[in-house]
Amino acid sequence: MNLSKKFALICLAASGLATTSLLAQEAFPSRTVRVINPFPAGSALDSLARMVAEHLNNHWGNKGVIVENVPGAGGNVGTQRFSRADPDGYTLLASPPGPLVMNKLLYKDTNYDATKFVPLSLLASVTNVLVVRNDVPVKTFQDFIAYAKANPGKLNYASQGLSSTGYLTARGLEVASNIQMVHVPYRGAAMILTDLTAGHVDSFFDTATTSVPLHNGGKARILAVAGSGRLAALPDLPAVSEFFPGFSSITWFAFAAPEGTPRALADKISADIARVIALPQVNQRLREQNMNPGGLNVADTGKYFEEERALWSKLIRDIGYQAE
């Protein structure tokens, strides 16, 4: 065989491999995709992840997209499992800020490095609010701070653990207002809200998504909004920043893929998630739940993670937290 024929065969083979690779990418997914939620069921994240999974499944031809709750250790257990998955797009992570940007700062050893995960898309963000049980002896946010100052250690606050926005926001309020409260850790938000509405815990920095319905239904009371401004759904309630300038706390939810996931595959999944978030019925449902729709691409999601990592790192330093 002469050199020209050999060269032609090599080119044909290379072309065939490229075509096969392209077809493989175009065929994704060809089987069930698993989304790991490293927190218990019943949270705003869980509801959102399942809604997105349902619409992704429809978009992907009903191959199956399942959400698996793997809670424990502030999200570390499920995130560790996710980090060991093959980078083929068939195992994704649905997460709030903790595992993606906080835990590396809060734990000495998480057994994973979230900075190496491949960002896919920001799903949505939502302001946190200070919600209290109905019979807490205060009427307003100002009353809450005054009561806490007059009674150090008498009020308590719940959180989903050290890596949660609920914990860090409450600690930030303690530092900003010079009050002392008692921390009561739980495994998940649903359990906290059950105990708060039953009167077993005093306060909680929760998402507006789950606490506004309780407030409107008379089952608990929101005293203030922790975001940068007031909440449209509760315009008469103040923002914490009106009393402590610069105070801000939001929760967000995002999807990520394991380290080593090919950029082309990540871009495809990200674009498909954005299509889901842009669906009128999804967009409307998010806004009804006081969430701001996301749908960022890979690059912008990565930048968002970096900005949030810097923001929470500063707060962790300000409260003097030492990694455990």
pLDDT at 16 exceeding the cut of 60: no
In order of 8, 9, 17, 95, 106, the CA distances from 5 in angstroms are: 5, 6, 18, 54, 62
pLDDT at 12 (0 to 100)? 44
Are 104 and 78 found together in one domain?
yes
The tokens of 93 are what?
């992570």
Are 258 and 304 found together in one domain?
yes
Instruction: Encode pLDDT of 268-313 as tens digits.
Output: 999 999 999 999 999 999 999 999 999 999 999 999 999 999 988 9
Residue of 224, 226, 221 whose CA lies nearest to 238: 224
Say what percent of the chain tops pLDDT 70: 91
pLDDT at 65 (0 to 100)? 98
- 14 part of a folded domain: no
Instruction: Encode pLDDT of 148-166 as tens digits.
Output: 999 999 999 999 888 789 9
Are 142 and 234 found together in one domain?
yes
Q: Please count the helices (runs of H) and the strands (runs of E) in the chain.
A: 12, 10
- 6 part of a folded domain: no
Are 235 and 194 found together in one domain?
yes
Are 220 and 193 found together in one domain?
yes
- 11 part of a folded domain: no
Q: Are 60 and 271 in contact (CB under 8 A)?
A: no
pLDDT at 9 exceeding the cut of 50: no
pLDDT at 128 exceeding the cut of 70: yes
Domain boundary among 242, 276, 304: 242
Residue of 238, 245, 256 whose CA lies nearest to 95: 256
Give the mean model confidence (pLDDT) for residues 98-111. 91
- 1 part of a folded domain: no
- 10 part of a folded domain: no
Are 185 and 222 found together in one domain?
yes
Q: How far apart are CA 32 and CA 256, in angstroms?
A: 17
CB < 8 Å & 24+ apart, contacts of 146-154: 148/177, 148/179, 148/180, 148/181, 149/177, 149/178, 149/179, 152/179, 152/180, 153/180, 153/181, 153/182
Residue 281, domain extent: 31-126+251-318
- 21 part of a folded domain: no
- The total of structural domains in the chain comes to 2
pLDDT at 19 exceeding the cut of 60: no
Q: How far apart are CA 87 and CA 266, in angstroms?
A: 10
- Domain CATH for 168: 3.40.190.10
pLDDT at 26 (0 to 100)? 57
pLDDT at 42 (0 to 100)? 83
Domain boundary among 215, 242, 269: 242
Are 71 and 122 found together in one domain?
yes
Are 237 and 142 found together in one domain?
yes
- Domain CATH for 38: 3.40.190.150
Taken in order 202, 205, 206, 208, the sign of the CA dihedral is positive
Report the DSSP pairing between strands 118-132 and 292-293. antiparallel
Are 112 and 139 found together in one domain?
no
Are 223 and 293 found together in one domain?
no
- 199 part of a folded domain: yes
The mean predicted confidence, pLDDT, of the chain is 91
Domain boundary among 218, 242, 266: 242
pLDDT at 302 (0 to 100)? 97
Are 40 and 103 found together in one domain?
yes
Residue of 33, 87, 85 whose CA lies nearest to 61: 33
Are 48 and 117 found together in one domain?
yes
Say what percent of the chain tops pLDDT 90: 80
- 17 part of a folded domain: no
How many other CB atoms are there within 10 angstroms of residue 6's CB atom?
A: 10
Report the DSSP pairing between strands 33-37 and 65-69. parallel
